[in-house]
């Protein structure tokens, strides 16, 4: 791969946001402080802190946080001397009021996230963030679900609203390497702003796909220590940066310190190993939003179903982030259908 040997690549660590899904949004203030101290000391560029579903996500539908996210953001800002504290905002979940409060507390970057075909709902939030003086990026989720020309169209909308970069977000961990290459190349050719890439590891491709994204010109990349993120996690930060260094790319972050933080602080927090098990594998196979895994597992227990059946049905129905309420509906319908038809499960899927 022909990668630029400079420090133009900027890394966002997402274990305190995407990883919140794994911990059922039960991060404590001291845990956040401890992780931010370690990341800041290692030279991490950006540290994302908010509910797993972004600002305002602490609800019965998405999962209640143990500690108000604003308190966690304030604690993160307090512990950070060099790293920029970032937040995620999904219009319709978070509002400009939460955005203003996060900015007041010291968050310097916001990623405004929408479904890949709904960039138009981000205009107000992107405008507001720019007015506040925040670094403002667009985040097009479930990027596998639309043709490339539509992806480009939506990214251009975010650019016109004032986004300073737009991410191709593989929320389901479903993109194959060639698909990542095509999407990043198309955005680099079509946009005047930076392009980013956010991976999930449900098909064991997160690091490889991120390297391809960088090769095609992405300068904003995401990682999660110890793979702590929804589904099978994200590109594992310490692994990704070690590979980049082996390739001669130095992004200015201390890998030894990341390794120690991953081993000594993050590892003990994780309730179960971040591995590709049958549930997370089906997320990538069926193209389902990675944060749906725990919800599907709970619904499976409630309705005596294999969670994989629920996830595959969600994939068939093209359910997207923000439709978590559909998981129980689908599980209930499947349970009734299987009883009526005398079936155990149906693993067929059509893309």
Alpha-carbon gap, residue 199 to 182, rounded angstroms: 15
Helix (H, G, I), strand (E, B) or coil at 244: helix
217 burial via Cβ count (<10 Å: 0-12, 13-18, 19+): middle
For residues 142 and 322, the answer to whether their CB atoms sit within 8 Å is no
- Residue 125 is among the residues annotated as catalytic for this protein: no
Q: How far apart are CA 131 and CA 311, in angstroms?
A: 40
User: Any alpha helices (H) in 171-324, and if so which ranges?
Assistant: 177-190, 206-215, 237-246, 255-261, 267-269, 278-286, 292-303, 307-316
**Residue 204 known to bind ligand:** no
Residue 171 assigned to a binding site: yes
Q: Name the DSSP letter for residue 338.
A: H
Candidates 21, 25, 45, 51; catalytic one: 21
Q: Tell me: is residue 198 an annotated ligand-binding position.
A: yes
Tell whether residue 50 is among the known ligand binding residues: no
41 is annotated as contributing to ligand binding: no
Chain center to CA of 75: 22
| 18 belongs to an annotated ligand binding site | yes
List, as residue ranges, the binding site for Mn(2+): 18, 198, 200
Q: Which residue numbers are catalytic?
A: 21
List, as residue ranges, the binding site for substrate: 17-18, 171, 198, 289
List, as residue ranges, the binding site: 17-18, 171, 198, 200, 289
């Amino acid at each position: 791969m022909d990668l630029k040997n400079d420090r133009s690549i900027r890394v966002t660590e997402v274990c305190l946001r995407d990883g919140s899904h794994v911990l059922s949004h039960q991060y404590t203030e001291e845990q956040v402080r401890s992780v931010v101290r370690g990341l800041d000391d290692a030279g991490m560029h950006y540290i994302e802190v908010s509910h797993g579903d972004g600002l305002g996500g602490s609800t019965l539908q998405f999962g209640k946080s143990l500690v108000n996210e604003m308190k966690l953001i304030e604690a993160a800002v307090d512990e950070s001397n060099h790293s920029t504290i970032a937040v995620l905002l999904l219009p319709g979940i978070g509002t400009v009021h939460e955005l203003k409060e996060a900015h007041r507390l010291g968050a310097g970057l916001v990623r405004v996230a929408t479904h890949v075909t709904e960039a138009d709902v981000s205009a107000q939030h992107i405008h507001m963030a720019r007015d506040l003086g925040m670094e403002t990026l667009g985040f097009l989720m479930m990027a596998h679900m639309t043709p490339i020309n539509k992806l480009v169209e939506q990214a251009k909308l975010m650019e016109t609203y004032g986004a300073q970069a737009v991410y191709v977000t593989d929320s389901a961990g479903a993109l194959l390497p060639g698909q990542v290459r095509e999407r990043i190349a198309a955005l680099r050719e079509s946009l005047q702003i930076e392009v980013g890439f956010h991976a999930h590891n449900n098909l064991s491709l997160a690091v490889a796909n991120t390297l391809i994204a960088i090769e095609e010109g992405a300068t904003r990349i995401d990682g999660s220590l110890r793979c702590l993120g929804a589904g099978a996690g994200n590109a594992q930060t310490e692994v990704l940066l070690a590979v980049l260094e082996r390739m001669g790319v130095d992004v200015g972050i201390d890998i030894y310190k990341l390794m120690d933080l991953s081993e000594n602080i993050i590892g003990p927090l994780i309730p179960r190993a971040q591995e590709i098990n049958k549930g997370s594998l089906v997320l990538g196979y069926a193209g389902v939003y990675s944060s749906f895994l725990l919800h599907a597992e709970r619904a499976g227990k409630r309705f005596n179903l294999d969670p994989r059946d629920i996830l595959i049905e969600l994939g068939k129905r093209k359910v997207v982030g923000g439709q978590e309420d559909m998981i129980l509906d689908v599980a209930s319908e499947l349970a009734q259908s299987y009883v009526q038809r005398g079936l155990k499960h149906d693993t067929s899927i059509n893309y």
